[in-house]
Amino acid sequence: MKLRALALVAIVAASSTALGAQAASKAVDRTNMDTTCAPCTDFYRFVNGRWQDTATIPASYPGIGVGREVYDRSLDVLHAILEDAAKTRGAAPNSNTQKLGAFYGACSDSSRAEKLGATPMAADLARIAAIRTPAMLQAELARQQANGADLAFSVGTEPDFKNTKLTVAALGQGGLGLPDREYYLGDDSASVKLRESYRAHIARTLRLLGGTPAGAADEAKRVLALETSLAKAAMPLEEQRDPKNIYHPLTVDSIARIAPGVNWKAYFASVGMTPKSVIVQSPSYLTAVGKLVSSVPMATWRDYLRWRVTDNASPYLSSRFVNERFTMRALLTGAKSLPPRWKRCMTTTDASLGEALGAAYVAKEFSPEAKARALAMVGNLEAALRDRISTLDWMSEATRKEALAKLAAFRVKIGYPDRFRDYSGLRIPPGASYYASVMLANQFEFRRQMAKSDKPTDRNEWGMTPQTVDAYNDALNNEIVFPAGIMQPPFFDATADDASNYGAMGAIIGHEITHGYDDEGRQFDASGALRDWWTKDDADKYDVAAGRIRDQYSSYIVADTFHVNGKLTLGENIADFGGLKIAYAAFEKAMSGRSRAPIDGFTPEQRFFIAYASAWRTKIRPETMILQSRTDPHSPGEWRVIGALSNLPEFAQAFGCKAGDPMVRGEAIRATIW
Ligand SMILES: [Zn+2]
């Protein structure tokens, strides 16, 4: 658990799993375009219109788009690696190949999972049924958190915001079965209906464990009431965006004073920590949890644990559990069917043994040349931002000096870690059930996280696996990270022109760099520490510009009556806008002295913007659109294109757009930051 989410690009919409092999697409592709739509009217439609009209979303997908297509190609590579590992006889005991093979093999054995039903979790259920006291409850909470269950509150470690050299313990909120607190609190008819469906789903799941329909219905009612109490106490997502709101360093003794219902010393001992200091995300949330532990009957807590633990286990049990769990996913995402078993097995293996799989992946798929080219591009983008910061007319010298120092200190990671994770402490015995294999992997990861408490921060660690099709900025490490998985066409293509590569991959690199200066990132300094290095006057000017971006996106409609949440998506929108701006500047520099002859009828500048817009081509089910608008800090692809480009005079110039065109925002309302 991390209190702060990493700032991603979020290329693969609402991940589940994917389909078969596809040819690599190009960043500029006329067959996707609708040239009957004027570029200055709706540039997203101009670039992606024909694709939008003809693409169909496969039944098991929440949506499709470029990121999904790229991930599908990677899946084929990963699939071959795992099939080989599962077939390898005589792999060295406890080697990564043995573990990958045993894990993937255990998942693939569907007839065994059917035969076992719920028996792999019988010991868990027996312990839960025996809970009679708060002490027994918190011991079981700790045990199930190590199994990966999301219960009541979350525990983890992360760099101390104000001294990032040291990693410390952290406590956050958690334990909800619905995607966010607002799902429990909304009183509109859609929210009420969804909660009814959720309650029925809990009851059906509990029924799979035995008991009567009436008993399960009562239990589900009590579970929903308890989750609603947790939701009421939880901090809203928008408030969590400000790091000051989620940084409360406390000793275990002071946590015991604000949340006396839990014996925190015993709790930390049971998760293997004796922390000197704990970062608490929300003290008032812990107070509420403490009160619920002392006031809610143990019978209700037993129901809650039975539900949450079964929900956590369901994907690894028999099809009755798998299918019941999918009914709720289907409601939330609109997906029509489960992905085939081999794809689900790939996703779980990826999540459990990601760097073991990643080491095999990069050996096949990533070259030193690709790394060198990506590094050169990052260097050009950083130089472009350095130029911008050096010449910004609204920024004072004092703030400028700090901003440049932060840029100079950026750590850049490309492809895969220098040192892959050591899995030697994880045993997946041959013959272990699928459920047991996943729990062993979860416990291994949990122990690894807890062991970091009060130790120096490991700056070499990666927050994404090499095969991930995404990228991130981690403000606490002041780093930008680009896994091998994203260094593929159409984002990056060694055979394509500069316009294509800078418009797609360049804008992604720029996006991650700019995260260091978005509404959240700008509060961290060159060392990654939470420290206000802005003069009051500069911060005020920044807030005015950011406010314009917030209002701009809040006016966009996602689906039905749902709008983009301009406050929740602010950091991502600033990163899109700033990233595009510096990618364009770097592109212009790279083009100097090169041929400017049109290709496919488009100038290099036009191709740059077409490549950008085509990277965000997505078609998403309405249910998933609504889910994302409520929980995802990224705007939908269409608005990432229209929102960023309509603020950019360079775009208007490339396509000859005039004041008053829909793709040109007037100067009076247009935001300028970089
Ligand atoms: Zn981002």
pLDDT reported for residue 560:
80
Whether the per-residue pLDDT at 339 is higher than 80: the answer is yes
CA of 211 to the centre of ligand 1 (A): 47
Cα separations in angstroms, 605 against 16, 327, 510, 649: 36, 47, 17, 12
Closest C-alpha to 392, from 572, 541, 520 = 541
Q: List pLDDT tens digits, range 207-252.
A: 999 989 999 999 999 999 999 999 999 999 999 999 999 999 999 9
Q: List pLDDT tens digits, range 516-556.
A: 999 999 999 999 999 999 999 999 999 999 999 999 999 99
Q: List pLDDT tens digits, range 572-609.
A: 999 999 999 999 999 999 999 998 899 999 999 999 99
Whether the per-residue pLDDT at 17 is higher than 80: the answer is no
CA of 6 to the centre of ligand 1 (A): 8
Cα separations in angstroms, 282 against 63, 174, 243: 34, 11, 11
CA of 606 to the centre of ligand 1 (A): 24
Cβ(60)–Cβ(18) below 8 Å: no
Q: List pLDDT tens digits, range 606-639.
A: 999 999 999 999 999 999 999 999 999 999 999 9
Backbone φ, ψ for residue 620 (5° rounding):
-125, 140
185 by Cβ neighbours in 10 Å (0-12 / 13-18 / 19+) ranks as middle
Q: Does domain 118-316 have CATH number 3.90.1170.50?
A: no
Residue found under tokens 């929900």 = 311
CA of 573 to the centre of ligand 1 (A): 8
Give 10 or 226, the one with higher predicted confidence.
226
Residue 346, token pair as written in the block = 């790939």
CA of 318 to the centre of ligand 1 (A): 37
Closest C-alpha to 8, from 672, 571, 492, 639 = 571
Say how far residue 293 (Cα) sits from the centre of its chain.
31
CA of 511 to the centre of ligand 1 (A): 6
pLDDT-based confidence at residue 3 (cuts at 50, 70, 90): low
CA of 7 to the centre of ligand 1 (A): 5
Cβ(449)–Cβ(153) below 8 Å: no
CA of 650 to the centre of ligand 1 (A): 22
Do 1-12+25-89+378-410+494-674 and 118-316 fold alike per CATH? Answer: no
CA of 91 to the centre of ligand 1 (A): 40
Closest C-alpha to 190, from 494, 561, 516, 484 = 561
What is the total residue count of the chain?
A: 674
CA of 443 to the centre of ligand 1 (A): 30
pLDDT-based confidence at residue 4 (cuts at 50, 70, 90): low
CA of 634 to the centre of ligand 1 (A): 7
Whether the per-residue pLDDT at 14 is higher than 70: the answer is no
CA of 429 to the centre of ligand 1 (A): 39
Report the percentage of the chain scoring pLDDT > 70.
96
CA of 220 to the centre of ligand 1 (A): 37
Buried b (16+ CB within 10 A) or exposed e, 268-281: bebbebebebbbbb
Whether the per-residue pLDDT at 7 is higher than 70: the answer is no
How far the first Cα of the chain sits from its last, in Å, is: 33
CA of 296 to the centre of ligand 1 (A): 40
pLDDT reported for residue 561:
83
CA of 486 to the centre of ligand 1 (A): 14
CA of 159 to the centre of ligand 1 (A): 20
Domain boundaries defined on the chain: 1-12+25-89+378-410+494-674, 118-316
pLDDT reported for residue 5:
65
pLDDT reported for residue 398:
97
When computed from its CA atoms, the radius of gyration of the chain, rounded to whole angstroms, is: 25
What average pLDDT does this structure show over 94-116? 95
Cβ(406)–Cβ(78) below 8 Å: no
CA of 513 to the centre of ligand 1 (A): 9
Closest C-alpha to 315, from 349, 277, 264, 272 = 349
pLDDT reported for residue 671:
87
CA of 358 to the centre of ligand 1 (A): 23
pLDDT reported for residue 20:
34
Cα separations in angstroms, 564 against 25, 408, 464, 510: 29, 34, 27, 23
228 by Cβ neighbours in 10 Å (0-12 / 13-18 / 19+) ranks as middle
pLDDT reported for residue 18:
31
pLDDT-based confidence at residue 19 (cuts at 50, 70, 90): very low
Which residues lie below 8 Å from residue 344, measured CB to CB, with a gap of 6+?
Answer: 17, 107, 315, 338
CA of 615 to the centre of ligand 1 (A): 14
Which residues lie below 8 Å from residue 636, measured CB to CB, with a gap of 6+?
Answer: 558, 564, 618, 620, 625, 628, 629
CA of 470 to the centre of ligand 1 (A): 9
CA of 114 to the centre of ligand 1 (A): 41
CA of 8 to the centre of ligand 1 (A): 4
pLDDT reported for residue 420:
95
- Secondary structure class of 85 (helix, strand, coil): helix
CA of 297 to the centre of ligand 1 (A): 43
Q: How many whole angstroms separate alpha carbon 436 and alpha carbon 206?
A: 21
CA of 541 to the centre of ligand 1 (A): 22
Whether the per-residue pLDDT at 21 is higher than 60: the answer is no
Residue 59, token pair as written in the block = 């039944």
CA of 201 to the centre of ligand 1 (A): 34
Q: List pLDDT tens digits, range 262-320.
A: 999 999 999 999 999 999 999 999 999 999 999 999 999 999 999 999 999 999 999 99
Cβ(236)–Cβ(181) below 8 Å: yes
Q: List pLDDT tens digits, range 643-669.
A: 999 999 999 999 999 999 999 999 889
Q: List pLDDT tens digits, range 400-418.
A: 999 999 999 999 999 999 9
Report the percentage of the chain scoring pLDDT > 90.
88
The CATH architecture that domain 1-12+25-89+378-410+494-674 belongs to is 3-Layer(aba) Sandwich (3.40)
Q: How many whole angstroms separate alpha carbon 628 and alpha carbon 516?
A: 23
Backbone φ, ψ for residue 474 (5° rounding):
-110, 105
Q: How many whole angstroms separate alpha carbon 332 and alpha carbon 364?
A: 37
pLDDT reported for residue 88:
83
CA of 512 to the centre of ligand 1 (A): 6
- Paired strand residues for 620: 63
pLDDT-based confidence at residue 23 (cuts at 50, 70, 90): low
Across 313-452, the runs of DSSP E, i.e. the strands, are 411-415
Mean pLDDT score of the chain: 94
Give 353 or 7, the one with higher predicted confidence.
353
Cβ(655)–Cβ(612) below 8 Å: no
pLDDT reported for residue 352:
97
Q: How many whole angstroms separate alpha carbon 550 and alpha carbon 647?
A: 13
Residue ranges of alpha helices (H) inside 236-340 are 237-240, 252-258, 264-270, 283-295, 298-313, 319-333
CA of 274 to the centre of ligand 1 (A): 35
Q: How many whole angstroms separate alpha carbon 398 and alpha carbon 396?
A: 5
595 by Cβ neighbours in 10 Å (0-12 / 13-18 / 19+) ranks as exposed
CA of 514 to the centre of ligand 1 (A): 9
CA of 633 to the centre of ligand 1 (A): 8
- Paired strand residues for 557: 563
Residue 238, token pair as written in the block = 């928008």
CA of 70 to the centre of ligand 1 (A): 18
CA of 572 to the centre of ligand 1 (A): 5
Q: How many whole angstroms separate alpha carbon 576 and alpha carbon 634?
A: 10
CA of 577 to the centre of ligand 1 (A): 11
Cα separations in angstroms, 535 against 25, 394, 396: 46, 12, 8
CA of 226 to the centre of ligand 1 (A): 34
Q: How many whole angstroms separate alpha carbon 167 and alpha carbon 147?
A: 22
Q: How many whole angstroms separate alpha carbon 510 and alpha carbon 296?
A: 50
Whether the per-residue pLDDT at 426 is higher than 90: the answer is yes
Q: How many CA atoms lie within 13 A of 476 on its CB side?
A: 26
CA of 10 to the centre of ligand 1 (A): 7
CA of 385 to the centre of ligand 1 (A): 17
Summary count for the chain: helices (H), strands (E): 28, 13
Cβ(378)–Cβ(582) below 8 Å: no
pLDDT-based confidence at residue 8 (cuts at 50, 70, 90): low
What average pLDDT does this structure show over 347-355? 95
CA of 515 to the centre of ligand 1 (A): 7
